[in-house]
Amino acid sequence: MRKTLALVLLLLAGGCSTPTDTTGTTEPPTTVVATTTAPSVAPSTTTSTTAPPTTEASSTTVEPTTTIVAGGMPAIRLDEIVFAGDPYLIITNRGNGVGSTSGLFICRFPDYYELPAIELKPGERMAVPLGEGEVPDLIGVVATVDVRSPLGPVSATEGELGLYSRNEFNSEDAIIDYVEWGSPGHARSGVAIAAGIWVVGGFVEVPPELLAIVAQAFPTDSPEDWLAEIGG
């Protein structure tokens, strides 16, 4: 019994005197992993700051074009004399500027007729009765004189017509166009010859079946510039 107790005491004494292990079990140092949290950066949305090109409305006013050619001059002339049916005269503006028949006269010696004021653009025509009949509707004719011409009946056999800028019928400065047909030497042919718009002894030859004489050139200053139209 005493031996057993002594052994227990010895064991207790040994357990109490066990030196402290200074090394111990040292936990490995805690490695703090620095978690660097990137600052929250909102996704960059690239917004175009380039303004779209501005289209400015043009302030230039476009002027309407006109029918008058710069520097253009009207040239109102005798163009056609129709004998068939009710006779009539066609007058045409053969120039490149707007003109008027205001103040113009038709002469068939000894009769004269002042034309009414009709504006004619380049290429436009007007009709003048040469008797008591009616003028038919014609392509390109913008006006028809609606009074009966006092020029008397016009013969397809022979005759003359002159166009004057004023009522001075013996003046070479006033006559601007002239034609005679069937025979030469009519009353105003000398004035036309002096003005350089007709030739001595010249006349348009007319066949028996004549319908009309038509200007084929500009200016018309000789019989060769006129064509006699015939029909059956």
Query: What is the band of 39 on the pLDDT scale with cuts at 50, 70, 90?
Result: very low
pLDDT top residue among 176 and 53: 176
Q: Which residue has the tokens 């105003």?
A: 188
CA distance 95 to 76: 7
What pLDDT score was predicted for residue 172? 97
Mean pLDDT for the stretch of residues 104-133: 92
The mean-pLDDT minimum among 74-78, 153-157, 215-219 falls in: 153-157
Task: Give the Cα-Cα-Cα angle 60, 62, 65 (nearest 5 degrees).
Answer: 160
Q: How many residues in the chain?
A: 232
CA distance 111 to 106: 8
Q: Pick from 117, 142, 115: which is nearest to 128 by CA?
A: 115
What pLDDT score was predicted for residue 232? 58
Query: What is the band of 133 on the pLDDT scale with cuts at 50, 70, 90?
Result: confident
Residue spans of the domains in the chain: they are 76-227
What pLDDT score was predicted for residue 33? 37
Whether pLDDT at 229 is above 80: yes
Strand 141-144 and strand 125-129: pairing?
parallel
CA distance 232 to 215: 21
Q: Please state, for a pLDDT cut of 90, what percent of the chain lies above it.
A: 56
What pLDDT score was predicted for residue 139? 84
Whether pLDDT at 48 is above 70: no
pLDDT top residue among 19 and 186: 186
For residue 110, is the peptide bond before it cis, meaning its omega torsion is within 30 degrees of 0?
yes
* Model confidence pLDDT, tens digit, residues 171-212: 999 999 999 999 999 999 999 999 999 999 999 999 999 999
Mean pLDDT for the stretch of residues 31-42: 39
Q: Please state, for a pLDDT cut of 70, what percent of the chain lies above it.
A: 69
Whether pLDDT at 30 is above 50: no
* Model confidence pLDDT, tens digit, residues 65-112: 223 333 578 999 999 999 988 899 999 999 999 999 999 999 999 999
Distances in Å between the Cα of 147 and the Cα atoms of 28, 116, 150, 157, 186 are: 133, 10, 9, 25, 26
Task: Give the Cα-Cα-Cα angle 207, 79, 147 (nearest 5 degrees).
Answer: 100
